[in-house]
Structure 1
């Protein structure tokens, strides 16, 4: 069973890349991102699609609940060095990671301390995600020494709208 799932996923992965290669028209060396994005790894978010960003025009860093981890910070600093003009911290209105942390889900491993440190009094997951995105944007602005603007925004899963916070 496991081997069948693995084979099926790999076959799908290869087919997707083959479709991409058939439609490819630009040089991969042409890299000038307009913005960098720190967002949740949730599969419901496709950053390039929701911003209608052309290839190589955005730089995405993703992890559970858009946490400004050291790895994320290194990636975003690289994006700034390659030309990104702004960083957007994109929260998710229906974030499962935030819900798990607020519910004190047993054994919830990743980033939970960073998530818990931001929401403070927010017990509603959407409100907590807003507070967390804003606080993360402030952290990143400090870490990037104010070199470029860092904005907080929220992706509303129910409408697919992005709202600047």
Structure 2
């Protein structure tokens, strides 16, 4: 393997991808908070609703795979979304182990309000859509690369 030049101080905080991702994630999610509050949604609940607006009904397992989350992590989110009337959870009649989640009429109607959110986020960030699309593509490559690492059973190459 060829050597990489990581600069004079490879441990400099401002050069760490993990630090930039952590701060950017926290700050961007904070921009969503005031937009989601009137809809009675937290950011993780919003992600569940986005998955359901793409396709409903879906199994909890499918939602977990889509959101790259553990099904057990989703359970309290789904219960809360059901309690406020946005979705229903039902056991499959063909396989009782399968829990299916579907939008209610109220949950489907919420989409119209949620469609305003991406525009507001872009405005608040003040970054061109094309630049955000490139960033999204780069982050998806990072996600794919880290997913590959999860699948590898061996140590990282030196």
TM-score normalised per structure 1: 0.25
Q: Which has the higher strand share?
A: 1
TM-score normalised per structure 2: 0.26
- Structure number with higher relative contact order (C-alpha < 8 Å, ≥ 6 residues apart): 1
Larger radius of gyration: 2
